[in-house]
Homo-oligomer: A and B are copies of this chain.
Amino acid sequence: MAQSPSTHRRLQSSDLEVFVARSLTAVGLPASDAEQAARLMILADLRGADGHGIFRLPQYVRRIRAGGMNVRPNIRVARETEATALVDGDNGMGHLVMRFAAQVAMDKAAHAGIGWVGVRQGNHAGPAALYAMMLLARDMIGIYMAVGNANHMPPWGGVELLLSTNPIAVAIPALEERPIVLDMATSVAAYGKVKTKAQRGEQMPEGWMIDALGRSLTDPKRAEEGFLLPIGGYKGYGLALVFGLLAGTLNGAAFGRDVIDFNKDDKTPTNTGQVILALDVARFSTVETFKRSVDAVIREMRNSRKMHGVERIRLPGEQSHATWLERSAAGIPMNDTLFKDLQRLASDLGIEGLPS
């Protein structure tokens, strides 16, 4: 993650976690829930997902205050089989709902080899990778899909915003190497990145967005006039559609025109849908054999011949891990705009602000 010129300070992740937890407690979350959500939000920042971490705090607080999110949800399994479950998040914070769902998926997989857990009545839960990665500690493969919380893509050939950037994450354990952690939107760029560009006063590269007449759109402040482009044209449209049906429709969660734009509407429950799949590696191979094979694949890719001018062949998750290492040591960079927003939030909530 290159630092933009407007990045003026670094804050320790522990300070940010405390601040987020304090803010969420101030608006009514039980302390332990606030701490769990804070830890996951700041993990997003540590991994470089700047549009998905503390950046979202003012918005979450606004939604909670507007009555759009339940601070004391009864998150529960609504239906289940030996290997599947449908979790009702009771409109709780997405991070808490997804953490619960991931736990259910792991328990199912420990028993039946696989656990597929769908979520309804959830909320925005930050980066997809967080939940897929939770399963790595138990030598499981994690797959996560979600319906995004605002529609920014039309179906291929259309101009109405009926699809979100519906992301997928896949986490696969390795032995000596870092795990593979793919986390990608089905659009060329995630909308969080557009928001970050706007906040930093930067332009977007061509290919991220077009306007309704099909012209390139590079000013993130004009994002509302256009839409994100799916990867591979109609293929990315197809992926966004099927991920939406699996994570949304199948669970009785919002998809398509039902999706609430959570950037504009703080009040209406989003009924966010997600799905987490846990697969127990040991049911296919010994764990060590599999992890060694993953190591071998990673090294084969990394050490293969590079195109002229390319410094390093990266594996999915490598850059996020490097960012995590760097930010864990040196702190999380924060630009003035966000810092001021958060200090204003603190004074608004009557809590202690960030260390300046």
- The residues of A with any CB-CB pair to B shorter than 8 Å are 79, 81-84, 86, 112-114, 116, 118, 141, 154-160, 162, 170, 172, 180, 182, 184, 188, 212-214, 231-232, 234-236, 238-239, 241-242, 244-246, 249-252, 255-257, 279-281, 283-285, 290, 293-294, 296-297, 300-302, 304-308, 310, 312-316
What are the 7 closest A-B residue pairs judged by CB atoms, nearest first?
Answer: A231-B232, A81-B113, A84-B113, A83-B83, A157-B310, A160-B304, A155-B301
Chain B residues whose CB sits within 8 angstroms of the CB of A296 once the complex forms: 256
Asked if A301 and B249 make an inter-chain contact with CB atoms under 8 angstroms apart, the answer reads no
Asked if B182 and A250 make an inter-chain contact with CB atoms under 8 angstroms apart, the answer reads no
Asked if B184 and A114 make an inter-chain contact with CB atoms under 8 angstroms apart, the answer reads no
CB distance from A136 to the nearest CB of B (A): 14
CB distance from A355 to the nearest CB of B (A): 37
Chain B residues whose CB sits within 8 angstroms of the CB of A113 once the complex forms: 81-84, 116
Q: CB < 8 Å: which of B86, B300, B314 contacts A157?
A: B314
CB distance from A179 to the nearest CB of B (A): 11
Q: CB < 8 Å: which of B112, B214, B242 contacts A316?
A: B242
Chain B residues whose CB sits within 8 angstroms of the CB of A306 once the complex forms: 157-159
Asked if A157 and B307 make an inter-chain contact with CB atoms under 8 angstroms apart, the answer reads yes
In the assembly, what is the distance between CA of A102 and CA of B305, in Å?
Answer: 38
Oligomer: number of copies: 2
CB distance from A144 to the nearest CB of B (A): 12
Most buried by B among A86, A113, A257: A113
Residue of B nearest to A297 (CB): B256
Asked if B279 and A84 make an inter-chain contact with CB atoms under 8 angstroms apart, the answer reads yes
Q: 28 interchain pairs (CB within 8 A)?
A: A81-B112, A81-B114, A84-B284, A114-B116, A116-B279, A156-B313, A157-B312, A157-B314, A158-B301, A158-B310, A162-B300, A170-B242, A172-B245, A172-B246, A180-B242, A182-B242, A184-B239, A231-B232, A232-B236, A241-B297, A241-B316, A242-B316, A245-B294, A249-B294, A249-B297, A250-B281, A255-B297, A256-B301
Asked if A188 and B232 make an inter-chain contact with CB atoms under 8 angstroms apart, the answer reads yes
In the assembly, what is the distance between CA of A238 and CA of B316, in Å?
Answer: 6
Q: CB < 8 Å: which of B114, B160, B212, B235 contacts A231?
A: B235
Chain B residues whose CB sits within 8 angstroms of the CB of A284 once the complex forms: 79, 84, 86, 118, 250-252
